[in-house]
Structures are given as C-alpha cells and as structure tokens.
Structure 1
Amino acid sequence: MSPIALGFTLTFIIITMVLSKWQKLGLEKDIAWGTIRGALQLLFIGYVLHFVFQTEHIGLIIGIIAIMIMIATQNAGKRGIGLKGIHWRIAAAIAVTEILTMGLMLGFQIIKPTTQFIIPISGMTIGSSMIVCGLFLNQMNREVGSSRELIDALLALGATPKQAIQQALQRSVKASMIPTIDGMKTVGLVQLPGMMTGMIIAGSSPIEAVRYQILILFAFTASAAMTGIILSILSYKLWFAKDMTLR
C-alpha cells in the first residue's frame, strides 16, 4: 500500500466523525485522539518488530511479550476496580496461558521458533486472554451482586467461600468464553478472520492461510478456557472480606 493510499484511509475516520457530529454523539475528540494514538502506536511497533525480526534475540522476544502482558493486565484490571491484588492475578493467568499455548505450538513444531511467528501469535493470544479476563470480571461483579443473598445463605449454612461462590464462578467463566465459541461457529461463513485475510492479501495461498487460521482458532479456544479458569481459581477470594463474608 502506497503512502497516498494509506492517507485515503482517513476517509473512514472523517465519515465516522461526521456521523457522530450529525447524531450529536460527542465522540469527535475521542475518535480523533484514538486515530492519532492508534496510528502512532502501530507505526512504533512496526519499526520495533522490524528491528527484532532482524536480530532474532531471545531477550528482546521475551521483553516484548512481557510488555504485552503488562499492558493487557493494566487494561483488563480496570474491570476489577476495588479488588485488591487483581492485577497480579490477571498477569499470572495471562502469562500461564501464553506459556502453555506457545509451549505446545513450539513443542509440537506447529510453528517455527522464529520471531516472525512467536511475536504475532503471542500478541493475538495475549489480546484474546485480556478480553476473557475483562469479561470474566464484569460478569463476576454482576453475579455476586445479583446472588448476594444466596451466597450469604450458603455461608451461613456452613459452605466454604469457594462452595458458596462456585455457581457464580462457573457462569462467569462460561460468559467470558461465549464470544470465542460464537466466533468458532461463524468463522468462514459470517467473517473472514484478520490473520487469514492478511495472509491472502499478502499473496499466500488461501489454503495455507486457512491452515494458520485454524491454528489460531483452536489455540484461542483453549487459551480462553485456560485464562478464565485460572483467573477464577486465583481471584474468587477477592470478593470476600477477611472474615469470609461477602464484601
């Protein structure tokens, strides 16, 4: 894509801002700031990855993945305001999911152990896990709020905190996985995923692109389950006070 063609893509942003102004949504400043910030971030990471791809240094690869996990943790942690210690639990859930997912891919030689494969797939895995963490925390807050009387009753009858909150945890993990599962059902029919589309546009065979997309699809499903379950195990006590009553 030429710089001139790239510049023409701003037409989509202008259309969005015009529609926002027309409907008095008040989103013009947010759209403008998001456009500038997103473009600068993408340009920056493009140059960083260009350098990393050339060096293939393991320390740089680990550093970039660590930064991805840190940023994902901060973003998902906004859904858990008031839950002390939630950030390190989110980071642990995402990190364990990334290690297990990438370990399986490299161990079974599904992907090549090069930066070109590790960094993009790690980014997609971490991003997917971040969304799962945010959905889990949102749903847990709603579940605890709506089930407070039931949980208090179970605690009064002698149930442990984990037993009392178990159903809420299960529903929250399930809710955090629904977008991933729904995506599996409609992929190829309703949507052509980004990785597959990108490879086709870059000139790869559609069959080869489909193979890699299947890899991502299956990996995302497993990583969503792992992230949701790990975070539920690590975080359920945060909804209880020291005397094991609901906060």
Structure 2
Amino acid sequence: MLSGCLIFLKGMIKPLAATAVVLLAVLLSFLQKLGIEGEMIYSIVRAFLQLSVIGFVLQFIFSQDNRGWIILAYLFMVTVAGYTAGQRAKHVPRGKYVAGASILAGTAVTMLMLVALNVFPFTPRYIIPVAGMMVGNAMTVTGVTMKRLRDDIKIQLNLVETALALGATPRQATKQQVKRSLVIALSPVLDNAKTVGLISLPGAMTGMIMGGASPLEAIQLQIVVMNMLIGASTVSSIMSTYLCWPAFFTKAYQLESKVFRTD
C-alpha cells in the first residue's frame, strides 16, 4: 500500500510541474483584467483531484465487467454535464434541466444506435469512455446553443415581437436566431472533424498505435468516434432549442420579458 502511494506521488511530479503553464495563463488573465484567475485555479485543482480519483474508480469498474456500472456512470456524467451546461446558460429558465434532458437525448440516441449496429460491445471498458466523449462534447455544444439563443433573442427583441404581432408562431419568429445559435455552437465540432489528423492528433487513435494496435484498427476507431461526436452534439443542440422555447414565450405567444430583463 505504501509503495503504491509512493509510486503515485512520484508520478505526479511531472503533472505538477506542468501547472507552470496554468500560472502563466493566470498571470496573463490578471494583466488583461479578465477577472477569471480564480476560475482558472479552481478548474485546474478540481481537474487534478477528479482525475486522481477517477483513474482508480475506472480500474475497479473495468475489472468488474458489470453492465449496471454503465448505466450508473452514464447517468452521473449526464447529470454533471447538465448542471455545467446550465450554469453556462444561467439566464435560461430551468437551464440545468433543459441541458440535462438535451444531453441525455442526444447521447442516448447515438449510443443506442452504435450498440444496435454492433459498433461497440456493451461493456464498461468500451461504453463508458465512449459515453464520456459524447457527453463532454454535447455539454459544450448545448451550453453554447442555449446561451447564444437567449442572447440573440434579447438583442433582436423588437424584430421578434414584430413577427409575433404579425401572427408568427414562436418557432417562426425565432427561426433565424435558432439557426444562428446552432451554427455557432456546432462549428467547432465540424472544424475539428475537418482538421483531425492534419492539426490535432486524436488521442484515441494515437493511444492505440502507441499501445501496439495496427494503424487500420486505430483509424477505424477514430472515424467511429468522430461520427458519434457529430451525431450526439447535433441532436443535443437541436433538442435544447425546442426545450428552450416554452421558457422564452408565454402561453399567449408573447415574449416572456423577465427572461430577457437581466444579464
């Protein structure tokens, strides 16, 4: 036990040394008066602690090979992702629930399709890492979509209200705002797919090759990963726009002014 702890502490020397770049980022944030120094430090400390724990948790789960762990791990990830995306879009009413439901829908549909098509075996060793990648991307896209949609409607309140007064439905009155928020949110995912292998070397493929797998197997896995990220992110972001509408409008098809009053 003691020897294991010593090995763990020794292995943490390099990660701790790498925090020098975070300190550089904190210094630049301070000099530029961005006001996010505290969030940077909190984020890196939290990531350090979470990764230190989750490595041992995953080792335990993978050794059990129990499918029940898949559901528990997946629901936990969706819950945390929904809360985080909701925090990013904090001015959207019930934003955490909207984000959580959207992420659940997008990732569940994508994962069920992959399992049904026998792309991945339904075991913790495969599904949990795959689900983590999907949930993480869906979280980012959903948070941006919700925030951008609310902000765009606020900026163009007069235009939306005019459309409503002329008889348009909430969906018709906010069609351009919805389209813009989806395009902006999904652009990083699509850009990443366009440049994968040219600019960024994907971790899954590189890790497999370093582990001794054939390049063909690694390429096949990475293509699957990119496809599922695009699918889950798109479904989640579109779902979030549909779930946001009830909070933005009254039952009489008028804008809910209190939603757009604060910033």
Question: Normalising to structure 1: TM-score of the pair?
Answer: 0.90
Find out whether 1:239 has 2:245 as its counterpart: no
Counterparts of residues 91-110 of structure 1 (less than 5 Å) = 91-110=100-119
The correspondence for 1:155, drawn from 161, 164, 189, is: 164
Match of 1:7 in 2: 13
Q: Distance in 2 between matches of 1:180 and 1:215?
A: 14
Structure 1 residue 183, shift from structure 2 partner: 0.8
Q: Distance in 2 between matches of 1:14 and 1:80?
A: 31
Structure 1 residue 24, shift from structure 2 partner: 4.4
Structure 1 residue 46, shift from structure 2 partner: 1.2
Cα distance change, pair 12–81 in 1 and its aligned pair in 2 (3 A):
same
Find out whether 1:179 has 2:188 as its counterpart: yes
The correspondence for 1:112, drawn from 107, 116, 121, is: 121
Report if aligned partners of 2:30, 2:37 keep a CA contact under 8 Å in 1. no
Q: Distance in 1 between matches of 2:29 and 2:95?
A: 38
Q: Distance in 2 between matches of 1:226 and 1:23?
A: 35
Cα distance change, pair 53–186 in 1 and its aligned pair in 2 (3 A):
same
Report if aligned partners of 1:98, 1:125 keep a CA contact under 8 Å in 2. yes
Q: Distance in 2 between matches of 1:150 and 1:23?
A: 37
Structure 1 residue 64, shift from structure 2 partner: 0.9
Report if aligned partners of 1:129, 1:224 keep a CA contact under 8 Å in 2. yes
Name which of structure 1's ranges 117-126 and 194-203 shifts more when overlaid on structure 2.
194-203
Match of 1:199 in 2: 208
Find out whether 1:139 has 2:148 as its counterpart: yes
AA partner of residue 84 (structure 2): N
CA RMSD of aligned residues (A): 2.2
Counterparts of residues 39-118 of structure 1 (less than 5 Å) = 39-118=48-127
Find out whether 1:125 has 2:151 as its counterpart: no
Could you give the per-residue CA deviations for residues 140-177 of structure 1, whole angstroms, max 9, x where no partner exists? Answer: 12210222111010111111112111221122112111
Cα distance change, pair 124–15 in 1 and its aligned pair in 2 (3 A):
closer
Match of 2:261 in 1: none
Could you give the per-residue CA deviations for residues 100-134 of structure 1, whole angstroms, max 9, x where no partner exists? Answer: 11111111111122111000000000111101111
Report if aligned partners of 2:107, 2:135 keep a CA contact under 8 Å in 1. yes
Q: Distance in 2 between matches of 1:124 and 1:23?
A: 29
Cα distance change, pair 28–167 in 1 and its aligned pair in 2 (3 A):
closer
Report if aligned partners of 1:180, 1:221 keep a CA contact under 8 Å in 2. yes
Report if aligned partners of 2:134, 2:232 keep a CA contact under 8 Å in 1. yes
Q: Distance in 1 between matches of 2:30 and 2:245?
A: 42
Cα distance change, pair 155–29 in 1 and its aligned pair in 2 (3 A):
closer
Report if aligned partners of 1:169, 1:232 keep a CA contact under 8 Å in 2. yes
Report if aligned partners of 1:90, 1:133 keep a CA contact under 8 Å in 2. yes
Cα distance change, pair 85–203 in 1 and its aligned pair in 2 (3 A):
same
Structure 2 segments unaligned to the other structure (5+ residues)? 1-6, 258-263
Cα distance change, pair 114–85 in 1 and its aligned pair in 2 (3 A):
same
Report if aligned partners of 1:94, 1:129 keep a CA contact under 8 Å in 2. yes
Paired positions, count:
246
The correspondence for 2:226, drawn from 197, 217, 220, is: 217
Q: Distance in 2 between matches of 1:65 and 1:190?
A: 30
Could you give the per-residue CA deviations for residues 27-61 of structure 1, whole angstroms, max 9, x where no partner exists? Answer: 76655543332122112111111111111222222
Match of 2:3 in 1: none
Aligned-partner SS, 1:9: helix
Q: Distance in 1 between matches of 2:191 and 2:24?
A: 32
AA partner of residue 134 (structure 2): T
